[in-house]
């Protein structure tokens, strides 16, 4: 487990470095500025030591030389501040450009992910990776750029200056240094795993919150408030536990390294004092060494803190890269054809499909839909009705067999042209934040106002739209805001009415509409379906009496096929379904 975590951490670091390499010019400039900052910072103790040597004798103070030294210290400090300001700007630019690219790639990845991935992962969990984890990554990366470069260069530069002045005192510093490195390494190895677990748990918590807010009316309707609170408390407690462990290990970094740094300072002070007594160094040089001891040990505090933040950043980045590396929806074949002038002939030949290999669903399905036919699909829940829709639209690819549109296998046609040939109205509505007009025109952004109004009238949505505060320019929030379910469904129907595709898929398209409006919409649908191949998934069998062909499904198989009256006369499964809904009523 530990080896696997180390391997993941190394791989994640390589991926981060590859992304940063895109801004290597800014990175190089930041490094040069960091080197200049360190050089100036290390030059100031030299000037300070020189100044001390100018005032060690009683009545023997070289004021002229001191003034020149003070001016040089002031210039060096001013340049250091300016360079640090410029370096901060560069580091921010590198960090947030990298984060911008990462977040944009993650969002683009979602657009290309197969539905199988999105079906298997909650919306909140995916959102957490793009929002929270990328933010954590940005914080760690920014601290790394700000402190890591200058810290490493400061350590190397300080050692160089000290070696040039007195190797013996420098040896004291070098001997004690490994203790600080050991402390930082010990803590770093334990913080990564804790931060990884914290990121994963935070994702679970975000997913739970998103799910519960979205379904709060259902939670309250079934009295699940207490159970939901208990579930949240369990996840929250788990997050608390992992967060405390991560923070504990990261918080002991600073005091631990400070203790080691104090040992370094004491060693330099004692050894330097003894050497100064023997005349090996001047008082000013000893002052410089003590200043260097502070400067040398300070980066260890910073670097150990940076390492902790980087562990958090790498743990978060690993989750984002995991999303980015998920297999995308297979690309269209190089020789894929673009479907044009679609007539609507659909053939399904010996198709088998299952969402999971161990659970069979559709087996050896055959269907022939002629252009302009109305095909109704009925059957009990879980028999595969909606799955057929997913296969027709190629949201999922068949396991065996083939589906053809106008004689072209759909896996040899471009997805865009295939899906453009269908108009879908599902039981589950989807509206985006925007105006009513924009939602209706989603499939045809170039549609005129007259065409949009005509589509709304055809779907019987025009009357309620005109009653809204700004009519077609009324802004609605995500998923329709305060609109009723029936109103949202009418807008989705209007969207299809505007596009007028050659093929239609209606999956309980009028399930949320009142009976009176449903009769009107059914009439509009009947007119819309004229000359268009239509697949109608229905539970209310009264809505499919006029279908050209009714497919009766059970356990992934078509067990009966024919027109309404023919199936009733057979007295089979369809007749049983129909009679269960309309027993004692006239046919």
Residue 3 belongs to some domain of the structure: no
237: which residues sit within 8 A by CB, 6+ positions away? none
Same domain, 131 and 274: yes
Confidence of residue 586 (pLDDT cuts 50, 70, 90): very low
Residue 436 belongs to some domain of the structure: yes
Same domain, 357 and 257: no
Confidence of residue 75 (pLDDT cuts 50, 70, 90): very high
Q: Number of folded domains in the chain?
A: 2
Query: For residues 150 and 365, is the Cβ–Cβ distance under 8 A?
Result: no
- Which residue, 268, 289, 324, sits at the end of a domain? 324
Residue ranges making up the domain that contains 106 = 16-324
Same domain, 266 and 356: no
Same domain, 383 and 256: no
CATH number at residue 570: 3.40.50.300
Q: Which helix (H) or strand (E) holds 494?
A: helix 485-499
Mean pLDDT across the stretch 194-223? 77
Residue 558 belongs to some domain of the structure: yes
d(CA 393, CA 377): 16
Over pLDDT 90: what percentage of the chain?
2
Residue 253 phi/psi, 5-degree rounding, is: -65, -55
CA 469 vs. chain centroid, Å, equals: 36
Question: What are 520's two structure tokens?
Answer: 């009107």
Residue 103 belongs to some domain of the structure: yes
Q: Give, as one character, the DSSP assignment of residue 359.
A: B
Same domain, 361 and 299: no
Confidence of residue 79 (pLDDT cuts 50, 70, 90): very high
d(CA 45, CA 292): 7
Count Cα neighbours of 68 within 13 Å in the Cβ-side half-sphere.
5
323: which residues sit within 8 A by CB, 6+ positions away? 106, 109, 126, 129, 130
- Give the tens place of pLDDT for each residue, 431-477: 888 889 998 988 788 889 999 999 888 888 888 899 888 899 988 87
- Give the tens place of pLDDT for each residue, 483-538: 877 788 888 888 888 888 888 888 876 666 677 766 766 777 777 777 888 888 87
Residue 341 belongs to some domain of the structure: no
Same domain, 307 and 418: no
Query: For residues 22 and 104, is the Cβ–Cβ distance under 8 A?
Result: no
- Which residue, 294, 324, 354, sits at the end of a domain? 324
**Can you tell me which residue has the tokens 């209606």?**
506
Confidence of residue 303 (pLDDT cuts 50, 70, 90): low
**Three-state secondary-structure class, residue 423:** strand
d(CA 488, CA 85): 53
Confidence of residue 84 (pLDDT cuts 50, 70, 90): confident
Confidence of residue 185 (pLDDT cuts 50, 70, 90): low
Q: Does the predicted TM-score (pTM) go above 0.85?
A: no
For residue 82, what pLDDT is reported?
Answer: 94
Same domain, 526 and 575: yes
**Three-state secondary-structure class, residue 413:** strand
pLDDT of 58 > 70? The answer is no
Radius of gyration of the chain (CA): 36
For residue 511, what pLDDT is reported?
Answer: 64
Mean pLDDT across the stretch 543-570? 82
Residue 175 belongs to some domain of the structure: yes
With 0-12 / 13-18 / 19 or more C-beta atoms within 10 angstroms meaning exposed / middle / buried, residue 573 is middle
Question: HEC states along 156-199?
Answer: HHHHHHHHHHCHHHHHHHHHHHHHHHHHHHHHHHHHHHHHHHHH
Question: What are 21's two structure tokens?
Answer: 């390499």
First CA to last CA distance, the chain: 66
CA 422 vs. chain centroid, Å, equals: 30
d(CA 291, CA 310): 29
**Three-state secondary-structure class, residue 550:** strand
Most confident of 70-84, 173-187, 260-274, 541-555: 70-84
Same domain, 240 and 360: no
Question: What are 6's two structure tokens?
Answer: 């180390």
For residue 542, what pLDDT is reported?
Answer: 64
Query: For residues 404 and 480, is the Cβ–Cβ distance under 8 A?
Result: no
CA 102 vs. chain centroid, Å, equals: 9
Residue 221 belongs to some domain of the structure: yes
- Give the tens place of pLDDT for each residue, 92-136: 888 888 888 888 888 888 888 887 787 777 777 788 888 888 887
d(CA 421, CA 500): 9
**Can you tell me which residue has the tokens 């589950």?**
428
Residue with the bigger pLDDT between 56 and 245: it is 245
Same domain, 524 and 562: yes
Least confident of 3-7, 153-157, 212-216, 362-366: 3-7
Rounded to the nearest 10°, the torsion over CA 109, 115, 116, 121 is 70
CATH number at residue 257: 1.20.1560.10
d(CA 247, CA 564): 68
d(CA 304, CA 296): 13
d(CA 567, CA 575): 6
Same domain, 268 and 185: yes
d(CA 304, CA 145): 14
With 0-12 / 13-18 / 19 or more C-beta atoms within 10 angstroms meaning exposed / middle / buried, residue 190 is middle
Q: Which helix (H) or strand (E) holds 146?
A: none
CA 66 vs. chain centroid, Å, equals: 59
Mean pLDDT across the stretch 386-415? 87
Residue 533 phi/psi, 5-degree rounding, is: -70, 125
Q: Give, as one character, the DSSP assignment of residue 333.
A: P
Confidence of residue 343 (pLDDT cuts 50, 70, 90): confident
Question: What are 301's two structure tokens?
Answer: 């505090």
Bridging pattern class, strands 422-425 and 533-537: unpaired
Same domain, 180 and 65: yes
For residue 189, what pLDDT is reported?
Answer: 66
Query: For residues 339 and 421, is the Cβ–Cβ distance under 8 A?
Result: yes
For residue 494, what pLDDT is reported?
Answer: 87
Over pLDDT 70: what percentage of the chain?
89
Query: For residues 401 and 362, is the Cβ–Cβ distance under 8 A?
Result: no
Same domain, 359 and 260: no
The H-assigned helical ranges of 54-129 are 63-112, 115-120, 123-128
Confidence of residue 256 (pLDDT cuts 50, 70, 90): confident
Residue 333 belongs to some domain of the structure: no
């Amino acid at each position: 487990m530990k080896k696997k975590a180390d391997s993941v951490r190394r791989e994640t670091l390589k991926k981060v470095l590859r992304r940063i390499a895109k801004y290597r010019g800014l990175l190089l400039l930041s490094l040069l500025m960091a080197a200049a900052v360190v050089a100036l910072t290390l030059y100031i103790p030299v000037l300070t030591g020189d100044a001390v040597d100018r005032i060690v004798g009683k009545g023997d103070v070289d004021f002229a030389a001191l003034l020149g030294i003070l001016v040089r210290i002031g210039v060096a400090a001013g340049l250091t501040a300016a360079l640090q300001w410029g370096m901060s700007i560069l580091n921010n630019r590198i960090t947030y450009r990298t984060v911008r690219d990462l977040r944009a790639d993650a969002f683009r990845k979602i657009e290309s992910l197969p539905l199988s991935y999105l079906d298997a992962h909650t919306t909140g969990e995916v959102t957490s990776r793009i929002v929270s984890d990328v933010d954590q990554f940005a914080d760690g990366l920014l601290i790394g750029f700000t402190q890591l470069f200058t810290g490493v260069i400061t350590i190397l530069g300080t050692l160089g200056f000290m070696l040039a002045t007195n190797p013996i005192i420098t040896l004291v510093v070098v001997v004690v240094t490994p203790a600080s490195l050991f402390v930082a390494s010990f803590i770093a190895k334990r913080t990564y795993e804790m931060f990884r677990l914290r990121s994963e748990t935070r994702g679970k918590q975000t997913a739970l919150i998103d799910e519960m807010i979205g379904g709060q009316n259902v939670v309250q309707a079934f009295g699940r408030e207490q159970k939901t609170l208990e579930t949240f408390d369990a996840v929250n407690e788990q997050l608390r536990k992992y967060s405390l462990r991560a923070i504990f290990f990261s918080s002991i970094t600073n005091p631990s390294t400070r203790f080691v740094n104090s040992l370094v300072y004491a060693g330099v002070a004692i050894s330097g004092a003894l050497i100064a007594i023997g005349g090996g160094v001047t008082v000013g040089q000893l002052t410089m060494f003590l200043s260097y001891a502070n400067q040398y040990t300070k980066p260890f505090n910073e670097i150990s803190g940076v390492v902790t933040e980087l562990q958090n950043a790498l743990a978060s980045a690993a989750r984002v890269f995991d999303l980015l590396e998920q297999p995308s929806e297979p690309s269209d074949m190089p020789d894929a054809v673009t479907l044009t002038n679609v007539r609507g002939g659909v053939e399904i030949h010996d198709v088998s499909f299952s969402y999971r290999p161990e659970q069979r669903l559709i087996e050896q399905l055959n269907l022939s839909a002629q252009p302009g036919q109305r095909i109704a699909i009925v059957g009990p829940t879980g028999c595969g009705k909606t799955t057929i829709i997913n296969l027709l639209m190629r949201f999922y690819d068949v396991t065996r067999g083939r589906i053809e549109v106008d004689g072209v296998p759909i896996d040899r046609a471009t997805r865009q042209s295939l899906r453009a040939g269908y108009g879908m109205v599902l039981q589950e509505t989807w509206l985006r934040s925007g105006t009513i007009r924009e939602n209706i025109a989603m499939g045809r952004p170039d549609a005129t106002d007259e065409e949009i109004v005509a589509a709304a009238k055809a779907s019987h949505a025009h009357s309620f739209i005109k009653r809204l505060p700004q009519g077609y320019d009324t802004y609605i929030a995500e998923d329709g805001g305060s609109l009723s379910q029936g109103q949202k469904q009418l807008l989705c129907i209007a969207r299809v009415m505007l596009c007028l595709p050659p093929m239609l898929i209606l999956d309980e398209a009028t399930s949320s509409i009142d009976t009176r409006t449903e009769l009107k919409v059914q009439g509009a649908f009947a007119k819309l379906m004229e000359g268009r191949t239509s697949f109608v998934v229905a539970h209310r069998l009264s809505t499919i009496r006029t279908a050209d062909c009714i497919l009766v499904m059970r356990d992934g198989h078509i067990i009966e096929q024919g027109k309404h009256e023919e199936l009733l006369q057979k007295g089979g499964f369809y007749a049983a379904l129909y009679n269960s809904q309309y027993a004692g009523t006239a046919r």
